[in-house]
């Protein structure tokens, strides 16, 4: 398959590009490098450009004859989306609309879209299946749900078939150690816990210890980035085989509290994680756990990695990145 990987220099997109290469497909990456990294694109062509660039997209899609598009490019921070919603509607909704229109013009009719558990808002139950009401509680979640609705309309009107993959907490790193999570600034729990264990941060702040959970901290469903990528491959194969559009939850179905993740980070790094108990972070639901039985039944998706493996791979990546960040010792001055 020849696949346009939009956002293929970012965290999940770069792992996907690597998997496509390893499975003998032909990925081409389009990324504006606003939050992605050129060196994360392993063994694939990189076109540097913005999704909102209509002429570029029309040209790329017309000239290359792609079988499908995988769309990973978006702004992803809930807090930032509350502070600067315009950026989120522009980057996540308006730019995606541009991509979809260009796909229709070019006759590319299959898309896998990176959606999010954020479309559900404050969950009424756990685990959550795909029929749970979509009631996002922040602009980030609303942008993902808007795109899902736009996709429904594009399918009905123009026959653009799609899979919306609703990630729970994407985490971990390439098991071979070549890629990993890299955000700037980093806001996610696992990399921050590992940095605190390694001494790069004085301590991890635990946001809220008074939630209605066994240890008072929030519960999340962490899913390995490599498992997410395998789900994308299964989804695109299913679409190209003629299956109708569908949304799938992607999670392990197991919930872990912040404190349990902190313990796992301590085990993986061999050092305790220093923590500070801090107030709740705005917009964090108490418990988010996936019911991913639809993806299991229809895609044949079985996540391979549990929390310990996720944190171990993330730890190996953090340690490698920390070594790269240490400046080389000045060489001896010759007289």
d(CA 183, CA 35): 7
The two most distant CA atoms of the chain are separated, in Å, by 76
d(CA 112, CA 114): 7
The single residue among 72, 88, 140, 305 that binds ligand UFG, judged by CB under 6 A, is 140
Tokens of 135: 């009631």
The alpha carbon of 289 is separated from its chain's Cα centroid by a whole number of angstroms, namely 16
Q: How many CA atoms lie within 13 A of 19 on its CB side?
A: 22
The answer to whether the CB of 33 falls within 8 A of the CB of 7 is: no
d(CA 212, CA 106): 51
Number of residues that bind ligand UFG (CB under 6 A): 21
Sequence-separated (6 or more) residues with CB below 8 Å from residue 152? 245
The single residue among 46, 206, 231, 233 that binds ligand UFG, judged by CB under 6 A, is 206
Q: Is 151 in the site for ligand UFG (CB under 6 A)?
A: no
| Helix, strand or coil, per DSSP, at residue 311 | helix
Residue 281: other Cβ atoms inside 10 A: 14
Question: What residues numbered 246-305 form the site for ligand UFG, per CB under 6 A?
Answer: 258, 281, 284, 288
Q: Is 117 in the site for ligand UFG (CB under 6 A)?
A: yes
Q: Which stretch binds ligand UFG (CB under 6 A): 48-56, 90-98, 151-159, 198-206?
A: 198-206
Per this entry, what is the length of the chain?
A: 335
**Minimal distance in Å, beta carbon 335 to ligand UFG?**
49
131, burial (CB in 10 Å: exposed 0-12, middle 13-18, buried 19+): exposed
Q: Which stretch binds ligand UFG (CB under 6 A): 47-55, 201-209, 231-239, 295-303?
A: 201-209
The single residue among 6, 73, 103, 189 that binds ligand UFG, judged by CB under 6 A, is 189
The answer to whether the CB of 8 falls within 8 A of the CB of 72 is: yes
Q: Is 239 in the site for ligand UFG (CB under 6 A)?
A: no
One character per residue 48-87, x = contact with ligand UFG (rule: CB under 6 A): ----------------------------x-x---------
Q: Which stretch binds ligand UFG (CB under 6 A): 31-39, 181-189, 291-299, 323-331?
A: 181-189
Q: Is 203 in the site for ligand UFG (CB under 6 A)?
A: no
d(CA 77, CA 98): 22
Strand 204-207 and strand 275-278: pairing? parallel
Is 256 a residue of the active site? no
Catalytic residue among 11, 88, 140, 305: 140
Q: Is 218 in the site for ligand UFG (CB under 6 A)?
A: yes
**Minimal distance in Å, beta carbon 262 to ligand UFG?**
9
Q: Is 207 in the site for ligand UFG (CB under 6 A)?
A: yes
Known catalytic residues are 140
Contact positions vs ligand UFG (CB under 6 A) = 76, 78, 116-118, 140, 169, 187-189, 192, 204-207, 218, 220, 258, 281, 284, 288
């Amino acid at each position: 398959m020849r696949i346009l990987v939009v956002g293929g220099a970012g965290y999940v997109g770069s792992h996907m590009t690597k998997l496509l290469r390893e499975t003998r497909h032909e990925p081409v990456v389009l990324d504006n490098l606003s939050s992605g990294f050129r060196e994360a694109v392993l063994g694939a062509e990189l076109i540097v450009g913005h999704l909102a660039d209509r002429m570029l997209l029309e040209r790329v899609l017309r000239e290359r004859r792609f079988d499908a598009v995988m769309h990973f490019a978006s702004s992803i921070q809930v807090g930032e989306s509350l502070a600067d919603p315009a950026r989120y509607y522009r980057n996540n909704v308006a730019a995606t609309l541009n991509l979809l229109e260009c796909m229709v013009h070019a006759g590319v009719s299959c898309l896998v879209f990176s959606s999010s558990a954020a479309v559900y808002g404050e969950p009424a139950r756990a685990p959550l299946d795909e029929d749970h009401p979509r009631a996002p509680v922040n602009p980030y979640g609303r942008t993902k749900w808007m795109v899902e609705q736009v996709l429904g309309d594009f399918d009905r009107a123009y026959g653009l078939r799609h899979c919306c993959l609703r990630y729970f907490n994407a985490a971990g790193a390439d098991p071979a150690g070549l890629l990993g999570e890299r955000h700037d600034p980093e806001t996610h729990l696992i990399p921050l816990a590992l940095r605190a264990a390694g001494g790069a941060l004085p301590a991890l702040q635990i946001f809220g210890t008074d939630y209605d959970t066994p240890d008072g901290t929030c519960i999340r469903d962490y899913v390995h980035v490599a498992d997410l990528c395998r789900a994308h491959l299964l989804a695109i194969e299913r679409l190209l085989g003629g299956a109708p559009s569908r949304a799938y939850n992607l999670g392990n179905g197991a919930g872990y509290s912040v404190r349990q993740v902190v313990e796992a980070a301590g085990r993986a790094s061999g050092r305790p994680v220093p923590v500070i108990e801090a107030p709740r972070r705005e917009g964090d639901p108490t418990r988010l756990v996936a019911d991913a039985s639809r993806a299991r039944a229809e895609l044949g998706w079985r996540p391979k990695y549990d929390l310990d493996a996720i944190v171990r791979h993330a730890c190996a990546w953090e340690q490698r990145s920390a070594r790269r960040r240490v400046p080389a010792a000045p060489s001896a001055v010759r007289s």
